[in-house]
Structure 1
Amino acid sequence: MERDRQPEEIRFDKYWLTLKRHRFPASLMFLVVLAGAGFVASMERPTYQAEGKLLFRKRDRTATLLAEGDKGTQLEALNNQNTPIDTEAEVLQSAPLVQKVIEDLKLKDKDGDQLAPEAFLKQLSVKGVKGTDILLVAYKSGDAKEAAAIVNQLIQEYIANNIAMNRSEAAAARQFIAKQLPALSIRLEQAEINLRDFEEANEVVSLVDEAKSSVETVAELSQRVAATKSEYDNVNAQTLALRSRVQRNAQAALTLNNLNQSTGVQQAFSQVQQVEAELASQRARYRAGHPQVQILERRQQALGGVLRQRIREVLGSNQAVSRTELQVGLSEQKLIEQYINSEVNRRGLASQLNSLVQARAAYQSRATRLPRLRQQRQALERQVATLRTNHNALSRRLQEVEIAENQDLGVARVVAKATVPGLPLASKQKLILAGGSIAGALLYILTAFSLDLRDPSIKTAKEAREAFPFASLGLIPLMRQKSQFGRKVSINAVPQLPVIEHPSSLTSAAYRMLQSNLKFLNPDRRVKSIAVTSSIAKEGKSTVSANLAAALAQMGHRVLLIDVDFYRPVQHQIWGLVNNVGLSNVVMSQVQLKTVINRVQPNLDVIPAGTLPPRPLALVDSKRMSALIAAFEQQYDYVICDTPPLVLASDVIALGQKTDGVMMVVRPGIIDTNSATEAKRMLEQSNLELLGIVTNGVAVENEPDSYLKRAREYYESVSLTPSVPSAGEVPA
């Protein structure tokens, strides 16, 4: 659970640090607002408030002689839309009434001019008492008597105006109603005629009963349609089955049945068959052309003609009929008769079904029209009812306004007149001061965050890691000491050596951790020569170089610290050396190397920068410098090179090519985002071996998510503890 709440705590600490970081300008804005509120509070004068009350009574409806059952209601506008109390409150604050009071009482402003209605309304308060019909009228003024006089005068003007307005409204309403009532009577009569004509034209008596009867009839017809359809389906199935057995359509079957049932056709066909049989017998006995054969042939033709004549008489056409159709057995004849009877039955059922469907459709059509007729009738009835209601209401209203026009009554009476207040209102000084404090606090926050948004500097170690997404080698806090008055002051006016001077401090432990991290950067290749740089000046690269060299030397390593910053060398000041000769003199072959090497601590040698050359880059990029670095790597375990800032000088790029890697020092509060972006770009384009970054000058209070907070608790028994650098601190 604690881990789940940690992001919220970190965010709160970040906001708190922002407010703390810009506390001086933000506090100034807070004090200005608070002083302004105090000035306004001091200028406040005593104010008196007089109050009067108006009661809005119910109308005496018995005086209006309205119809029985009309309930009395409170006064309300003729259109009956707004809340009466709210409406009368607006009337009390109307410009004509206010102007009349100002003129009657001759009210003046501070300059002696007539009081403006706007200024009058600012001091006037009109509101209803909750749950009652009482309206509270109050006025504030520096003069108690004037406040009471104004309230009483306003109430009197309102009552007089209300009586006149009621009478004028009643007269106007009477004239309006007198004009509207005749026209409404004509419209009501016409609506009643339209309803009567509609009922006569559509033969409407009782649409409800007709609709019920139509529904029952349609339901009955639907049942009969369903039954007939079922019977038709059965007969149709039988017909299809018989047709498949007969293998003829209905017409062919009917023709065949008629031929087989015709006695004349069957007798002629029998005679033809007998002649053909006899002819076949004679042909077997005689040759063609024999008189007996010819007689039989002529007889065959004659009987054939008789057969065809009788077939035409039966069928009514010259339809050709085969002999197989004239020779049908008894069983087949019965089957054909069944088929024909089934077909006749099927067609009868189809006709009956069609009649039922049509009848049902007719009733459904009528039933479909009934809702539309009912809707039209209801519309006409509503129109008649509405017009009749309006006519009756307008007639009653005419009687009411005629009586009201002759009455001289108001709708409000004075419940309590305003009296001269004895005590002023409660002072608002505390409220003004509280509001000023709140406004000042908000302005404090706004100022702090506005300044923070405009500040491009990197403020915490976390932001530094985000700006330089490289390996983090360590966090270096700054050391402080307490003055005799308990205030924290910086001890970094000149770069210090806490590794030597305060070995038990948290800062010294941080440098020892840094030198330990360097050993594990590359397990395959040991890093011996390191170029220490920063993005811009004052980030503490020289201090980090000196303390890192001292920490390595204390671990028994032979270390050489070289000041390669030919612009602003500092190492000779840190170690108390003379900078008459140094590295630049050796590179230019002016002195021998051994004359510039200074032993400052056991295992630690320092070479100062020497004479500042006119062209530093030429010395750094020379072959002589490459040879010296290679020689130093042979003689020492570590070679630490203090170089100029990366963004300000290109010497670092040249020297970085000659060393094993570059170590970047980043100090929150000094470096800005633009410089960090440029330094990152230069590192990426130069293809230097970047060992990592060292975050210097870390304020433990500003890093709630850092291990330094716990580490400081561990080292808090030491007299010198890390803290936030002061405004005047200038690191190397």
Structure 2
Amino acid sequence: MEPTKPIVEYSESINIDFQKYWSILKRRWLPAVIVFSGVVGLSVVVVLLQKPVYQAEGKLMLKKVDWASAATGVGEQIGELDTLAQQSNPLKTETEVLRSIPLVQRTIAELNLKDEAGVPLEPEDFIKELKVKQLSATDILQLAYKSTNPEEATAVVNKLMNLYIENNILTNRDQAVEAVEFIAKQLPRTETTVRQAEAALRQFKEQNRVVNLDEEAKSAVEIIQELESQINQSQTALAGANARHTSLYKKVGMSSEQAIATNSLNQSSGVQKTLEELRQVEDQLVVQRTRLQEDHPAIVNLELKKNAFKAQLQGLVKDAGVRRQVTSQQLQIGESQQKLNEALVKLEEERSGLTSQLAELSNAQATYKQRVSILPKLEQEQRELERRLAAAQSTYETLLKKIQEVRVAANQRIGNAQIIEPAPIPKKPSLLKPAIILALGNMLGILLAAATIVILEVKDTSIKTLEEALELFGYTLLGVIPALNKKAIPRGRDKEWAVPELPVRDIPNSPISEAYRMLQANLKFLGSDKALKVIVVTSAVSKEGKSTVSANLAAAIAQLERQVLLVDADMRRPVQHHVWELTNAVGLSDVIVGQAEFKASVTQVMPNLEVLTSGVIPPNPLALLDSKRMASLIESFSARYDFVIIDAPPLILAADALTLGKMADGVLLMARPGVGNSTSATTAKQLLERSCQNVLGLVVNGANLENEYYAKEYFTEEDSTTRKKFMSQVVKHTNCS
């Protein structure tokens, strides 16, 4: 059951809004009908004053390519319907051509069109009567022209279509001639571009020694692999030679250079002879040293000979080209040593050859690798040059072909438009314009009528309905009092006061009396925590019925056998003595100043109800009401009576109600549709909030049952459920700290 509640509430809000708009319409229907009728009548007059207008229609078919050009296969792009923008429509473009000023001016001139004053028709006026539209899903344009003369309308449409076709043919032919001239200018430039591209490609191949880059790349890769294999073999052989060289070097005890030098000296006869003589001198020296002293002349002489032979031997070594010192022991080698020296020399030669071979192979490999590394760049440059050449050649060939085609097309009658339906003479006038005028008149009448209602509502700031009152004040609704019939009696000079009746006392079974009992019941609900005993009844402005409500509310409570005191605290314009038909010689003002006793001033008007009138009107009522005496009186009233109702002046006119409200248990605010306005309501609410009054709620007085949805429903039905719903308004207190 829970999900159904929002639906009910929503539907009720719709009904309430509908009632609100309906009430506004009922209030303002007369000026709205007057405005609507005037506008519609004016549109009818305008239609009757219009001359009959005839509309002639013709049709043009537009083709994308001319059939003659398609048959020959040349000049197909001359006159072709195409667009520059993706969202544009070629037919819309041709529509604007038909509406262009030059075609319009030619049509006006050839047909000698004139306006009603006999002056040549202006192009702008012509275009206003011309209508061009595309038939749906076709390549056909429909032309329509309106005129008061049917023959003129027909002539205009046919002439405009003929001029358009003529202009279309001339435009296409001019395009072909311009195309021939353009291509003729471009051919020499394109040929030069082709030759430059060919020369650039040839120069590139010559500079980079390019024949076939793909084959060259494959061959280079194979050669690099072969060189890599040879390098590996040479490195292996060189490693073996180095190993053998190391072994021989350890055996010989000298380097290969020393071995070469030793072998050459051993084969020299002069060296061997000198070496033999040196050995003989050394042998003699050994023998003599066994017999003689070192300083003996014979030993000295032998030492001199020995040194002379050594010097001679070194000289022979130098002459043999050996740049290093060679000892006599090295020159005295045997046959085996000599063979080892020769083997070392041969091995050194082998090592040198392998090293040279390895260096050559490495250089060759590096050269091929370098060539291979630049081949991609060369291929890219070659492809770029070849693309340029191909593009230039293609452009050149295309231009050669197109110039022949366009020259043939320039001599053809190329057109892409055809009249498929000439305009016949219309026999009946067009009803479209009168219908439009009437429709616009009705629409404008509705709009102006609605605007009239809105303007009148906006200018009228008075509170008109219960809903407006609730929205402006924002307080809880405690009761709705329907409008009463009143009789007028004189009150002072040139004044009249509307004296309310007492339906609660006089006609207790009426719906109006029930409304006051409902108000009393709601006030009783407010006192569930703390009983309300003293309330101040006031309103925003005068004539909202606060005195009437105070009197009838007091009577309704008294009928429940509760002791009630009704105090008229409006010492500016008192009313309660008129309501109850009492004298006002003695009252509240006299009791406050001590000139009269309370018991003597109060009057019992019905069982359980006593009334204290205002008494003599003082010069400053606020001074009396805002006094300790008044506060003590209210306390005594509260102790003596079950309920005290104080009728106070309006909030905006005086501060009396705000002063009394601070002494009472709460303030009951009155509002009457048609009397107060939004400004007075806002001001009253601000005054209550700033003075921190305990506002019990709002009572709407004098409500029109025809305009108030909830009130009408209650007061026209005896359904108990509806009554309970209206009485179940929950009070929201205005609390001030």
Distance 2:69 2:382 in 1: 40
For residue 49 of structure 1, what is the amino acid of its counterpart?
Answer: Q
Does residue 1:10 correspond to 2:9, yes or no? no
Please report how far the alpha carbon of residue 544 of structure 1 lies from its aligned counterpart in structure 2 after TM superposition.
1.8
Distance 2:16 2:199 in 1: 86
Change beyond 3 A, Cα 1:379–1:545: farther
Change beyond 3 A, Cα 1:690–1:35: same
Distance 2:509 2:218 in 1: 107
CA contact (8 A) 1:662 1:691 kept: yes
The residue number in structure 1 matching 2:80 is 76
CA contact (8 A) 2:574 2:614 kept: yes
Distance 1:87 1:200 in 2: 56
1:714 is paired with a residue whose SS is coil
CA contact (8 A) 2:537 2:647 kept: yes
What is the aligned counterpart of 1:98 among 99, 104, 111? 104
CA contact (8 A) 2:57 2:154 kept: yes
Change beyond 3 A, Cα 1:383–1:213: same
Please report how far the alpha carbon of residue 381 of structure 1 lies from its aligned counterpart in structure 2 after TM superposition.
5.2
Distance 1:508 1:104 in 2: 90
For residue 112 of structure 1, what is the amino acid of its counterpart?
Answer: G
1:165-180 equivalences under 5 Å are 165-180=171-186
Does residue 1:59 correspond to 2:66, yes or no? yes
Distance 1:635 1:121 in 2: 93
Change beyond 3 A, Cα 1:61–1:526: closer
Does residue 1:425 correspond to 2:430, yes or no? yes
Distance 2:22 2:436 in 1: 26
The residue number in structure 2 matching 1:142 is 148
CA contact (8 A) 2:484 2:500 kept: no
Please report how far the alpha carbon of residue 426 of structure 1 lies from its aligned counterpart in structure 2 after TM superposition.
2.8
Q: How many residues align?
A: 560
Change beyond 3 A, Cα 1:633–1:385: same
For residue 76 of structure 1, what is the amino acid of its counterpart?
Answer: E
1:661-688, CA deviations, whole angstroms, 9 ceiling, x for partnerless residues? 3222244564444434433343344344
Distance 2:133 2:577 in 1: 84
Of 71-80 and 413-422, the range deviating more from structure 2: 71-80
The residue number in structure 2 matching 1:152 is 158
The residue number in structure 2 matching 1:714 is 717
1:97 is paired with a residue whose SS is helix
Change beyond 3 A, Cα 1:380–1:462: farther
The residue number in structure 2 matching 1:317 is none
Change beyond 3 A, Cα 1:200–1:702: farther
Distance 1:521 1:54 in 2: 84
The residue number in structure 1 matching 2:480 is 476
What is the TM-score of this pair, normalised by structure 2?
0.64
Distance 2:217 2:550 in 1: 107
Return 5+ residue gaps in structure 1 as ranges.
217-354, 482-491, 718-722, 724-732
Please report how far the alpha carbon of residue 87 of structure 1 lies from its aligned counterpart in structure 2 after TM superposition.
3.8
What is the TM-score of this pair, normalised by structure 1?
0.65
Does residue 1:415 correspond to 2:417, yes or no? no
Please report how far the alpha carbon of residue 644 of structure 1 lies from its aligned counterpart in structure 2 after TM superposition.
0.4
Of 193-202 and 662-671, the range deviating more from structure 2: 193-202
For residue 13 of structure 2, what is the amino acid of its counterpart?
Answer: I
The residue number in structure 1 matching 2:408 is 403
1:630-649 equivalences under 5 Å are 630-649=635-654
Please report how far the alpha carbon of residue 95 of structure 1 lies from its aligned counterpart in structure 2 after TM superposition.
0.9
Distance 1:64 1:399 in 2: 16
Please report how far the alpha carbon of residue 85 of structure 1 lies from its aligned counterpart in structure 2 after TM superposition.
4.1
Does residue 1:554 correspond to 2:565, yes or no? no
Please report how far the alpha carbon of residue 417 of structure 1 lies from its aligned counterpart in structure 2 after TM superposition.
2.7
1:560-579 equivalences under 5 Å are 560-579=565-584
How much is the aligned-residue C-alpha RMSD, in angstroms? 4.5
The residue number in structure 1 matching 2:225 is none
Change beyond 3 A, Cα 1:560–1:211: farther
CA contact (8 A) 2:180 2:406 kept: yes
The residue number in structure 1 matching 2:117 is 111
Distance 1:31 1:213 in 2: 103
What is the aligned counterpart of 1:38 among 13, 30, 44? 44
CA contact (8 A) 1:60 1:72 kept: no
Does residue 1:653 correspond to 2:658, yes or no? yes
Return 5+ residue gaps in structure 2 as ranges.
223-361, 486-496, 721-725, 727-737
Distance 2:672 2:216 in 1: 98
CA contact (8 A) 2:40 2:438 kept: yes
1:413-452, CA deviations, whole angstroms, 9 ceiling, x for partnerless residues? 4333322111122344444434433344344445545665
1:240-298, CA deviations, whole angstroms, 9 ceiling, x for partnerless residues? xxxxxxxxxxxxxxxxxxxxxxxxxxxxxxxxxxxxxxxxxxxxxxxxxxxxxxxxxxx
Please report how far the alpha carbon of residue 696 of structure 1 lies from its aligned counterpart in structure 2 after TM superposition.
3.8
1:17 is paired with a residue whose SS is helix
Distance 1:214 1:501 in 2: 130
CA contact (8 A) 1:18 1:452 kept: no
The residue number in structure 2 matching 1:621 is 626
CA contact (8 A) 1:473 1:514 kept: no
Please report how far the alpha carbon of residue 138 of structure 1 lies from its aligned counterpart in structure 2 after TM superposition.
2.0
Distance 1:177 1:710 in 2: 91
Distance 1:465 1:597 in 2: 36
CA contact (8 A) 2:23 2:707 kept: no
Of 116-125 and 624-633, the range deviating more from structure 2: 624-633
Distance 2:693 2:703 in 1: 26
CA contact (8 A) 2:68 2:414 kept: no
Does residue 1:535 correspond to 2:537, yes or no? no
Does residue 1:680 correspond to 2:689, yes or no? no
CA contact (8 A) 1:586 1:593 kept: yes
CA contact (8 A) 2:70 2:76 kept: no
For residue 637 of structure 2, what is the amino acid of its counterpart?
Answer: F
1:207-606 equivalences under 5 Å are 370=376, 383-408=388-413, 410-446=415-451, 448-449=453-454, 461=466, 464-465=469-470, 468=473, 472=476, 474-479=478-483, 494-522=499-527, 525-579=530-584, 581-588=586-593, 593=598, 596-606=601-611
| Structure of greater Rg | 2
